Chains A and B, each alone.
Chain A
Amino acid sequence: MIYVQVALDGLIVGLMFALVAMGLSLIYGIMDVVNFAHGEFMMIAMYASFFMWTYLGFDPLLSSPIIAVCMFGFGVLIYRWLGKYLVGATLIPQVFATFGLMVFMQAGANFLWKADTRTLPENWSSGLFQFDGLFFNMAELVAAGGALATAVLMFWFINRTETGLALQATAEDQQAARLLGIDTDRMFAIAWGLSAATIGIGGVLLSTYYVINPLVGVKWVLPAFVAVAIGGFGSVLGAFYGGIIIGLIQVGGGFLTSANYKTLFAYGLFLLIVLVRPHGLMGRK
């Protein structure tokens, strides 16, 4: 029974990782840029959720669409000011521009809100959920459900809408997409916006049960990079599966050894994968 519990816990955490990884992979897929500040996008969404709850009394259900829209705008803004200049840039400015953004946003959060950890007060999603000898944190279940719904919505968008298909065309071949009359600059901006919006929703969902502090983003994003690698850099669906694998492996590994070491399993898996199969399990190239 305990193994069923561990597997389900892993799946629940994995859906969250999947959501984080999908946004990363979307940007990488379309413009070959790794956004190291992705976790900090999530961190500010978590603070936004916290402040909306404590000052305005907005329930996460109510605040998540508002935050998603704001984060979309934020993502577009960051693209316009920074991301745009990284397309086709050499490795070093590309990597360090977003690393710089990461340091800046972490320090900014520290500056404005201190390093203290915050948590949302008890709310409707608090409490335990019991089913046939299995125990779940209600909020985690709700968050996992929300992550799944967001992922489905994103797949629907990129596969079923015209804009989504244009995004895919741009990811496939920028030159050809431009010849077909697709405004690739606009597509890049939309990709950044979407990426930020999904991680924004992720942040709101996570804020209902997870601690909020300036460094929280790194904890979720570093393993999510592994998920992106598992799925093959740039594959959004691959990143989704990769996220679930990471959840399972971290919870399973943590269960077998100690919770302190759970991330080691994800990092080890990354090295194994890039050394054996450099393009991931589902990569294109």
Chain B
Amino acid sequence: MNPASGETLRVEGVPWWVVVGGLGALIAYPLVFTMPFHQHIVIMALLYGTLGTAWNILGGYTGQVSIGHGVYYGIGAYTAAYFYVNFGLSPWVSWPLALMIAFVAAFVIGLPTFRLRGHYFVLASVFIAEAVYIIISNWDMVGGAIGLEYPIHRAESSLDALWHLQFHKSKLPYYYGILTLFVASVFVSWRIRFRPLGYFLKAVSEEQDAARSLGVDIARYKMVALLISVLFTTLCGMFYAQYVMYVEPVNTMSLIVSLEIAFIAIFGGIKTLWGPVLGAFIIIPVTEFLRANFSGHIALDQSALAEGGIGAWVDYYMAGGGGNVDLLVYGLLIIIIARFQPNGVIGFFHRFD
């Protein structure tokens, strides 16, 4: 941002008209593309864009590589589902509770583990998330390994639907809901960088010891970054629960969920404002498309076997038949980016550095 120089106003390297145009395109998109699947893809991209941005505030700006954000995502999803399924309480009521639980969890997890560095912090975050996963999977009150399923609410009016946050006729309310959250997260992630907090976070991530010797209260700033990150992650969890109306340990707090959240930011490029956004809008459409088109198992019949050939024989007996292509591509993309462009996709655009 340097308006005095007479150049185009830029938001972290991107000209302002691109930012405004992009936002306009996102607002207009569901009105142009009315197919539910097309809307679904962008809803997921916005959801993961928010998650990646939130992750980046901790993992990127402060360098605390957490592979345990599934905990907060899960707390959001489970709180929304639990109160709705058992007491009919809408997320409008339960969100302060979800945030409270998530913040307490963040304190309990953050305080001791922020002293750890490098691999130790990474492993600690994985183990804490796995421990929470095991406890939730065995906790009957929240449905154990099966999880919680929402009852379908037939709304009498649009106000009623809004209160219950269930929309069955159109995806638009979900779309604009997550778009709002996404814009808010990007805005916070952007503004942080110009506040003292942002400079301290940068100092913490780059020269921890030097920052400490200058009297920067490292633990405090890491905690602030974690809380901001947790705020958005928890709200995303609540959104997800309302959107799919089904919460289980595997889809909200497993290791793969925590990894996916971090992958988005890392793939796009951490420590940058636009990296996680770019990551989400590249990875999610690809994987959602693959999941929709290549998740079925190819059925192989006995006659192919009778015709012989080593290929048919191997196919028949080993017969997996092509599930999980989305994760296959996911893993490959991450390996490639880590191997060839550790700065993420955004590293290809030098001017954004």
Contact = CB atoms under 8 A, between A and B. Distances in A.
Interface of A: 34, 51, 54-55, 82, 85-86, 89-97, 99-115, 218, 222, 225-226, 229, 233, 258, 260-261, 263-264, 267-268, 270-271, 274-275, 278
B334 A114 contact: no
Closest 4 CB pairs of A and B: A104-B331, A100-B334, A103-B331, A107-B327
Nearest to A106: B327
B320 A101 contact: no
Contacts of A233: 119
B339 A82 contact: yes
A108 B131 contact: no
Given A103-B334, A274-B120, A96 B263 contact: yes
B323 A110 contact: yes
A7 to B, nearest CB: 24
B331 A107 contact: yes
Contact of B318 (A112, A222, A268, A278): A112
B318 A263 contact: no
Interface in B44-99: 63, 65, 67
Contact of A105 (B120, B256, B331, B334): B331
Interface string B300-343: 00000000000000000111111111111011111100110010
23 contacts: A34-B122, A91-B119, A96-B334, A97-B339, A99-B67, A100-B263, A100-B331, A103-B256, A104-B327, A106-B331, A110-B323, A111-B325, A114-B321, A222-B126, A225-B127, A229-B123, A260-B137, A264-B135, A267-B128, A267-B130, A271-B113, A271-B128, A274-B120
A34 B128 CA distance: 18
B255 A85 contact: no
B127 A270 contact: yes
For B67, B112, B119, B122, the residue with the greatest tally of chain A CB atoms inside 10 Å of its CB is: B119
A104 B328 contact: yes
A107 B335 contact: no
A189 to B, nearest CB: 17
Nearest to A266: B127
Contacts of A91: 63, 65, 118-119, 122
A99 B320 contact: no
Contacts of A115: 323
Contacts of B118: 91
Contacts of B328: 104, 107-108, 111
B270 interface: yes
B120 A114 contact: no
A103 B330 contact: yes
Contact of B134 (A106, A225, A264): A264
Q: Identify whether the interface residues of B are mostly helix, strand, loop, or mixed.
A: helix
B331 A102 contact: yes
Contacts of A96: 262-263, 266, 334, 338
B263 A267 contact: no
Nearest to A228: B123
Contacts of A34: 119, 122-123
Interface string B136-173: 01100000000000000000000000000000000000
Nearest to B333: A100
Contact of B327 (A85, A90, A110, A218): A110
Nearest to A105: B331
B124 A271 contact: yes
A93 B255 contact: no
Contacts of A270: 123-124, 127
B324 A110 contact: yes
B195 interface: no
A8 B115 CA distance: 37
Contact of A85 (B123, B325, B339): B339
Contact of A82 (B120, B317, B319, B335): B335
Contacts of B262: 96
B134 A261 contact: yes
Contact of A274 (B124, B130, B255): B124
Contacts of B127: 222, 225-226, 267, 270-271
Nearest to A84: B339
Interface in B233-267: 255-256, 259, 262-263, 266
Contact of A92 (B134, B255, B297, B342): B342
Given A263-B131, A263-B134, 14 more contacts: A91-B65, A94-B338, A97-B335, A101-B331, A103-B259, A103-B327, A103-B334, A109-B320, A226-B127, A267-B131, A271-B113, A271-B127, A274-B120, A275-B112
A257 B170 CA distance: 48
A260 B138 contact: yes
